[in-house]
């Protein structure tokens, strides 16, 4: 790493420099308190569809910033280079995942527009601080994510299912979790569903579509939040000719603070 500091204590700029140098690890726990963001970059010809899809589906797609065509910087992280400063990327061609490189300098195009989208890491920090246990962190796995039977509201050529993340929450803390995340609409907001997974068309909580299965403890209730993987699912379903995203869990660490996204 070129540093012996614990990742949580790094500044966002330090963390980005580590990733720019080639380290390719998930960003959970890095640069504590700073907002991490999903990346979706598409050709300018598709940018209106993506922005409108986000407007029409704000819970899964809370847009934090949009770049100029061909731009590689964001107001959320001055000095960052979007082509190199995430630890790992995914490249989609005609809706198919073709590569997972650690930098995309050679693939960036003059017409790419990048969308930075809020991430549940932000509200997990708030939940943890309020004493709401996060089972996937306790069990050292990724949060489980599921495609649902609920379609997103389409926008132009973009369509796809709502994807949700699931966190088991002790029943007496479900209200707290709901109230806290409702105050953070910029990072997915309140849960979209609590309880029976069947109502979302989810057949088996033990076989997530993305991430890892997580063990429920006695008294836990499954709580479902809209998930930032939704736009990636829409890219796969809608097949723009070219797109670049972050690799799941390998986010952009911004200079914004999680606290900035709590509205009250």
* Residues forming the site for a second copy (CB under 8 A): 47-48, 51-52, 54-56, 63, 66, 179, 182-183, 185, 189-190, 263-264
Asked if residue 248 lies in contact with residue 229, where contact means CB atoms within 8 angstroms, the answer is yes
- For residue 224, give the 3-state DSSP assignment: strand
Residue 169 beta carbon to a second copy: minimum distance, rounded to whole angstroms? 17
Cα three-residue angle 185-237-212, rounded to 5 degrees: 65
Q: Which residue's CB is nearer to a second copy, number 28 or number 50?
A: 50
Q: Least distance in Å: CB of 196 to a second copy?
A: 24
Q: How far is the CB of 78 from a second copy (least distance, A)?
A: 15
**Min. distance of Cβ 190 from a second copy in angstroms?**
7
Q: Are 178 and 191 in contact (CB under 8 A)?
A: yes
Q: Which residue is associated with the tokens 């999680």?
A: 258
Q: Which C-beta is closer to a second copy: that of 31 or that of 174? A: 174
Please give the order of strands across the beta sheet that includes 220-226: 145-151, 161-170, 220-226, 193-194
**Closest CB to a second copy among 15 and 223?**
223
- CB of 190 or CB of 202, closer to a second copy: 190
Nearer to a second copy, 47 or 126 (CB): 47
Q: Minimum Å distance from CB 131 to a second copy?
A: 19
Report the C-alpha gap between 159 and 152 in whole angstroms: 7
Burial class of residue 189 (count of CB atoms within 10 Å of its CB; 0-12, 13-18, 19+): buried
């Amino acid at each position: 790493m070129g540093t012996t500091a614990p990742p949580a204590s790094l500044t966002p700029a330090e963390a980005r420099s580590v990733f720019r140098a080639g380290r390719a690890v998930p960003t959970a726990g890095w640069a504590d308190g700073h907002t991490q963001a999903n990346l979706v970059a598409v050709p300018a010809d598709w940018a209106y569809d993506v922005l409108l899809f986000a407007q029409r589906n704000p819970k899964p797609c809370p847009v934090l910033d949009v770049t100029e065509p061909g731009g590689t910087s964001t107001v959320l992280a001055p000095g960052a280079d979007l082509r190199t400063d995430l630890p790992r990327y995914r490249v989609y061609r005609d809706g198919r995942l073709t590569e997972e490189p650690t930098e995309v300098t050679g693939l960036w195009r003059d017409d790419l527009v990048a969308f930075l989208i809020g991430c549940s890491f932000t509200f997990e920090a708030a939940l943890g601080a309020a004493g709401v246990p996060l089972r996937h962190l306790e069990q050292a796995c990724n949060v489980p994510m599921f495609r649902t039977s609920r379609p997103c509201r389409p926008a132009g050529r973009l369509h796809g299912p709502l994807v949700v993340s699931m966190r088991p929450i002790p029943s007496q803390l479900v209200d707290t979790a709901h109230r806290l995340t409702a105050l953070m609409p910029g990072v997915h907001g309140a849960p979209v569903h609590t309880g029976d997974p069947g109502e979302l068309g989810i057949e088996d909580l033990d076989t997530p579509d993305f991430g890892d299965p997580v063990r429920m403890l006695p008294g836990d209730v499954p709580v479902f939040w809209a998930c930032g993987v939704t736009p990636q699912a829409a890219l796969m379903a809608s097949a723009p000719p070219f797109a670049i995203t972050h690799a799941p869990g390998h986010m952009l660490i911004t200079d914004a603070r999680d606290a900035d996204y709590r509205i009250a």
